[in-house]
């Protein structure tokens, strides 16, 4: 297995993984091929996959506005969880953000994804109770 930068050609296998991993919030954003390809094009150094040849094992999408970093789609194949792959993916993104002088990273977890929340808390991420997230469709 290798961790390498994600390319648009990874989309189908990544999407298949996202549908098999509980806790992903695929409905709330543009997760089409075009949407993900655009994210990769704009953030080519911070989107990664863990793959064993054609087998997609894990993904993480990092993006930045130049000031703050965001992490999306942290997912590891249920059969491969608990071996440090999720940690390795996060480390790759964080290292690149650091090189890009990004000093703060945020991410979203669906409110009822208790395992996901536990995971991030255990990895040292802070929960914000002073912010309410708002969005709007354009
Ligand atoms: C969260 C997820 C990406 C972790 O991937 P992983 O490869 O299993 O993670 P790791 O093996 O690197 O585990 C790192 C640590 O977190 C812990 N951990 C992993 N999954 C956990 C969970 N569900 N609950 C609590 N702790 C968890 C591990 O025990 C490990 O602890 P250690 O570093 O002390 O050994 C994976 O479980 C997943 O895909 N979950 C479903 C999707 C999801 O919820 N994504 C995150 C929300 S956006």
Question: Rounded to 10 degrees, what is the CA torsion of 83, 19, 112, 76?
Answer: 10
High-pLDDT (> 70) share of the chain, %: 100
Q: What are 1's two structure tokens?
A: 């297995």
pLDDT of residue 29: 83
For the chain, the structural domain boundaries read 2-122
Give yes or no for residue 116 CB within 6 A of ligand 1: yes
Q: What are 101's two structure tokens?
A: 């002088």
Give yes or no for residue 78 CB within 6 A of ligand 1: no
CA of 4 to the centre of ligand 1 (A): 19
To test ligand 1's pocket by mutation, which of 81, 84, 113 has the most ligand atoms within 8 angstroms of CB?
81
pTM: 0.94
Cα separation, 57 vs 80, whole angstroms: 7
Number of H helices, E strands in the chain: 4, 5
Q: Give the pLDDT confidence of 6-54 residue by residue, as tens digits.
A: 999 999 999 999 999 988 888 878 899 999 999 999 999 999 999 999 9
CATH superfamily of the 2-122 domain: Gcn5-related N-acetyltransferase (GNAT) (3.40.630.30)
Give yes or no for residue 74 CB within 6 A of ligand 1: yes
Q: Give the pLDDT confidence of 52-68 residue by residue, as tens digits.
A: 999 999 999 999 999 99
* Contact (CB, 8 A) for 118 and 125: no
pLDDT of residue 23: 86
Q: Which residue has the higher pLDDT, 129 or 28?
A: 129
Q: Give the pLDDT confidence of 79-125 residue by residue, as tens digits.
A: 999 999 999 999 999 999 999 999 999 999 999 999 999 999 999 99
CA of 77 to the centre of ligand 1 (A): 11
Cα separation, 129 vs 36, whole angstroms: 30
């Amino acid at each position: 297995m290798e961790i390498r930068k994600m390319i648009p050609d990874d989309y189908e296998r990544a999407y298949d993984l996202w549908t098999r991993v509980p806790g992903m919030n695929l409905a709330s954003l543009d997760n089409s091929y075009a949407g993900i390809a655009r994210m990769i094009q704009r953030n080519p150094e911070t989107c990664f996959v863990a793959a064993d040849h054609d087998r997609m094992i894990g993904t993480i999408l990092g993006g930045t506005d130049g000031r703050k970093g965001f992490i999306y789609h942290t997912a590891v194949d249920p059969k491969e969880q608990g071996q440090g792959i999720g940690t390795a993916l996060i480390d790759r993104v964080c290292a690149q953000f650091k090189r890009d002088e990004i000093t703060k990273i945020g991410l979203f977890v669906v409110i009822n994804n208790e395992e996901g929340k536990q995971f991030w808390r255990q990895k040292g991420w802070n929960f914000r109770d002073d912010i309410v997230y708002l969005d709007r469709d354009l």
